[in-house]
Amino acid sequence: MSTDSIHNPSCWVSQVNSQDPLLDYSTITVPPLSGIMPPSMSSADMLTALYLASAAKSLLVPTYKPSMYINSWLHQYCTEATLAGVPTDLLGKFLCHYLPPNIAEWICTFGCRNNWEELHNLLISTYGLDLDIEKAQRRQTLQATTQRNLSIWLFQVKFATLVNDMPNSGCLSNRTILNIFLKNIKPPLCQLIEPTLNSMDDWETVYEKAVMHEDCIGDLAPPRARNFHCQFEPMDCSAAIASPQRPKQHSLNDGVPCLWGPDGRPICGYCKGAHWNKDCPGVSHSAAITYQPAIVKEESPLAAAIMPAWLVTTGSSQPTTSAGPSVPYVIQNKALSVLVDTGSTITAIRASALEGIVTKVDCDQSIVFNTAAGAMAHSHGTVSLPVTLLGRPLELTF
């Protein structure tokens, strides 16, 4: 359509007639080419020409097909056309654009296009279903819509859409819709609502009660929105070693449980001291092994939370003989580094779920290890030991 034809109403009807020859425009008075509308042309006729001219470009509803349910299709057409501003007396004229040619010609023979109610009843009585069959289909559609894992407000949106789309001819009674709604919600909600029902309640009132009762059932409550603006608190490195609320516990060969303190120190199962059990009544405290966790140096407060694997813990163990030196060790980035001398003994290693630890020690002297299982290992350079750390069997390579 050119620019002149847009502003010239005389071109509207001629273009529409070329697109749809079934429509009768004999009653429309075409204004003169000057563009001035004479008093003889009503605004309704102008709206008819305007709607029909734009119908080919923007359809309100899909074109009706015999396989469609005409009751719902007419209800959808009437709703969309009313929202678009089509007057009631023009609904019949505008409807022919969405009907097949044979049905449009059949409507023209009756001459009821100017009366929407008469045209509506004629189409339903001819192409519609029986009232009982229509209600049965509506009931079946509602019964198939269940809540399942949806929250009650999401289920209400789906249920209300089906109820509001029902035409007056096939609408179910309020009591029937209420019974279907109660059966389709989750049984725990239905059991809470049924004792509070009365004869005046409808399904929308029951929905409001279900919203109040839904918070009482944990698995039915809608997910809470996360607050992404809350202040972030970095995780403490010591939490990766031991938790103050739930101290770790495991048993050694002596049958007495050994506890871990909140600071990562071992607690004796006999005297509750800061050392391993190792038959506490017969072992002097000078020969007992103690651990001194080192202070973690962080360059930023988020370092511990971003890279929790960079856990640094240092300690020392006393030798079994007074002449033996101490054995320092460092756990850093899932690696265990030990520097020992001849005669040194390691009786336990405190780690935090370390798997596949492989560390080589640059030492020219012999290394002696006493594993958790009591086995001895000697090596000059590199040795692999099966040990148990926090209840997990591991193999350490030195």
Distances in whole angstroms, Cα of residue 47 to Cα of each of 42, 43, 82, 88, 173: 9, 6, 13, 12, 39
Residues 81, 227: Cα–Cα separation, whole Å: 44
What topology does CATH give the domain 145-220?
A: 1.10.1200
Tokens of 40: 């003889």
- Residue 242 and residue 264 in contact, taking contact as beta carbons nearer than 8 Å: yes
* Domain(s) of CATH 1.10.1200: residues in the chain: 145-220
pLDDT tens string, the chain, 398 residues long: the values are: 444 443 344 444 444 444 444 444 444 443 443 343 444 556 666 666 565 555 544 566 777 877 777 777 887 888 888 887 778 777 887 787 788 888 888 887 777 777 888 888 888 777 776 667 777 777 888 888 888 888 888 888 888 888 877 766 557 778 888 888 888 888 888 888 888 887 778 888 888 888 877 766 654 444 554 444 444 444 444 444 444 444 444 444 444 555 666 666 677 777 777 776 666 775 554 444 444 444 434 343 433 333 333 333 333 333 322 233 334 444 444 444 444 333 444 433 433 333 334 333 333 333 344 444 444 444 334 445 555 544 455 555 54
- Residue 247 and residue 259 in contact, taking contact as beta carbons nearer than 8 Å: yes
Q: What is the pLDDT of residue 179?
A: 85
Q: Which amino acid is at 300?
A: S
Tokens of 59: 């359809």
Tokens of 32: 């003169």
Residues 142, 75: Cα–Cα separation, whole Å: 18
| pTM as predicted | 0.29
Q: What is the pLDDT of residue 53?
A: 54
Task: Kindly give, in sequence order, each residue whose CB lies less than 8 Å from that of residue 180, ignoring residues fewer than 6 positions away.
Answer: 139, 142, 143, 203
Q: What is the pLDDT of residue 374?
A: 43
Give the DSSP letter string of 361-394: ---SS-EEEE-TTS-EEEESS--EEEEEETTEEE
Strands (E), the chain: 249-251, 257-260, 266-267, 313-317, 327-331, 336-338, 367-370, 376-379, 384-389, 392-397
Q: What is the pLDDT of residue 103?
A: 84
Residues 258, 280: Cα–Cα separation, whole Å: 11
**Can you count the helices (H) and strands (E) in the chain?**
14, 10
